[in-house]
Amino acid sequence: MKRAILIYYSRTGFTEQYARWLEEMTGCPAVAYKDARKMDLAPYDIMLFASRFRAGYIQKLKWLRRKDRRRKLRAVLATGAAPMGSPEAKREVSVSVRDEGFRCAVFYLESGIRYEAMGRIEKLLMRLFLRLMGEQDNGKYQHSYDNSSREYLQPVVRYLQELGAAEEEKNL
């Protein structure tokens, strides 16, 4: 069985939640970005990376490009507030991964907004984005919501099983 690791970057908690769920479901260890920066990743055959998708790019993906010299990255999981079935979100995430030079599986996972965890600049950027999209800022985006679901990880679990990296599927 191949050794796999999931490295995740989470700013508001959604990506960390998905990483923990995937760890429970497959046995693949989930390691926070801040800890992974100091790790020797040589013992792992397979790397997965999870982070939030914001403003057209996946945060900390550039760091992974420098770290993954042996081309062990097999999948990127991107979380975002767009609906799970959004073809635009999936396309934009895929373009972001490809633009960084990675050729790997891409999974988009709907999460939500934790407005209270956002900084002033993030809130301002969200309002500017809404204006660019022609939407009125009527306050509906100033409230937190959580649409994340363990079910959204099923394709990732199947992918890991195909790679021979999942120890076992639990709690489903």
61-98 pLDDT tens trace:
888 888 887 788 899 999 988 888 888 888 899 998 98
Asked if 19 and 8 count as a contact pair (C-beta separation under 8 A), the reply is yes
Tokens of 101: 């030079």
For residue 51 the two structure tokens come to: 């982070």
First to last CA, the chain: 22
pTM for this model (two decimals)? 0.82
Q: How confident is the model at residue 157 (pLDDT cuts 50, 70, 90)?
A: very high
- CATH class for the domain made up of 4-111+147-163: alpha beta
- The DSSP 8-state label assigned to residue 82 in this structure reads S
Q: Closest by alpha carbon to 151, among 120, 109, 102?
A: 109
**CATH 3.40.50.360 intervals, the chain:** 4-111+147-163
% the chain with pLDDT above 70: 85
Instruction: State the pLDDT at residue 140.
Output: 60
Per-residue pLDDT at 169: 42
Q: Quick one: pLDDT at residue 15?
A: 96
Between 151 and 125, residue with greater pLDDT: 151
Residue 115 predicted with pLDDT over 80? no
